[in-house]
Structure 1
Amino acid sequence: MFSLSKKTAVITGGGSGIGRAVAEVFAQQGATVFVLELNEDAAKESLKSISAKGGKAYSFACNVADQSAVKNVMAEIVQQTGRVDILVNSAGIAHIGKLENTAEADLERIFQVNVKGVYNTMFAVIEQMKKQGGGVILNLSSVAAAVGIADRFAYSMSKGAVLTMTYSVAKDYIQHNIRCNCISPARVHTSFVDGFLKANYPGKEQEMFEKLSKTQPIGRMGKPDEIAALALYLCSDEASFVTGTNYPIDGGFITLNT
């Protein structure tokens, strides 16, 4: 079950965190993985890890906010493989602030990566997926798209847009055998979390980590591998009846905190 053998998978933000975990799991399950990553060093680390486990992966330095760059990369991938079976949009950035302290530049930066970046990659693959008779798109949204989270105005805006773009694409392309779903994680323990705590709470990292962990009713943060396991299911043939759906993976955050 859950074999991705002979499938081509494109994963944005595959150099770290959830994106890297997804890239590694997909490669282990037989996919030829293409990592799109702004940070070339991070991409190389992902490729090294995948290769060490016998997987097949390649990387492209790419800013997902740049449509022409995304289109060029996708065209090169299609030239190499002849198809794109799976697209996972994991690239994203965060912002902390409420409306009054979210500058226009902050909002624009979040929009360019988290919203336009997802649009750009989907726009770049949709015709190829139609041409080849189908495909799977999986977007990374957030619990912030469904419930109010303090000091996350711009971030919540962007993830709400990802959620509704997912619904639109699922509706518009269901007759083309293209499935589109999204995953909405709560807090997941990644290097980003560690960096955030170090920068904002020096000397109190462990205390704040435990506090943030307990905001999930289950009592801890999620693990990238747990998100990757759900991504694997949704992008596999076993999920062929699943489209237009948002999957919270949140330790009870949405339903047990409200």
Structure 2
Amino acid sequence: MRIDLNSDLGESFGRWTLGDDAALLAIVTSANVACGFHAGDPSVLRRTCAEAARQGVVIGAQVGYRDLAGFGRRFIDVPPAELTDEVIYQIGALEAFARVAGERVRYVKPHGALYNTIVHHEEQAAAVVEAVRLYDPELPVLGLPGSVWLRRAADAGLRTIREAFADRAYTPQGTLVSRRERGALLHDPDQVAERCVRIARGEPIEAIDGSPLTIEADSICVHGDSPGAVHMAQAVAARLAAAGVDLVPFAGA
């Protein structure tokens, strides 16, 4: 058995520090690096890409709404053509820093509100798909299983990667519980690690209402901005290894 372990990184900005990117890059196999719209400044992006390259971690562009104040977690009704341009802009910005580090952007993952919006929003999903297709149709895209985003990406000939979340609660329908709701975030490393083993094995986990839910996933995300993120990622990686699950980047290094 094998699975990818990813984390959202490069989200500090100026004098504001978020997460321990260096520690997480020693654990994960893929790094979803912010592109400056929801988080990250040029120096942060460059440092994150350089450290990812040094650690042999695959670099992905985490694209989002232009929403620094809201950390990209607020829906913005961006016209589709404008959203396409903004996603291309973000991938290109991160690509520059990846190239300086001797690497390149190897996949695309939407962030926050954009990620959740294109689970169902046809126009915005199509706009993000078009951006990736125009920039590089060989780039894989990461998203929620069963989402409009992955369906449209597959229809456009893009390689789709199904993602599960280690530290987020799920609805019975397989979508993420809103962060505004109680119980949306999971904090017990042992509970999270065991759940990740079940996901990797294709076994059901519990939805927030206690019902069984099976999530088909090629990659598992541990959020880099969560409290105790490093300890959580260490627990997940150790438990997966003990269960005989190899951690392998889906995009290849």
- Common fold by TM > 0.5: no
TM (norm. structure 1) is: 0.39
Larger radius of gyration: 1
Judging by fraction of residues, say which structure has more helix: 1
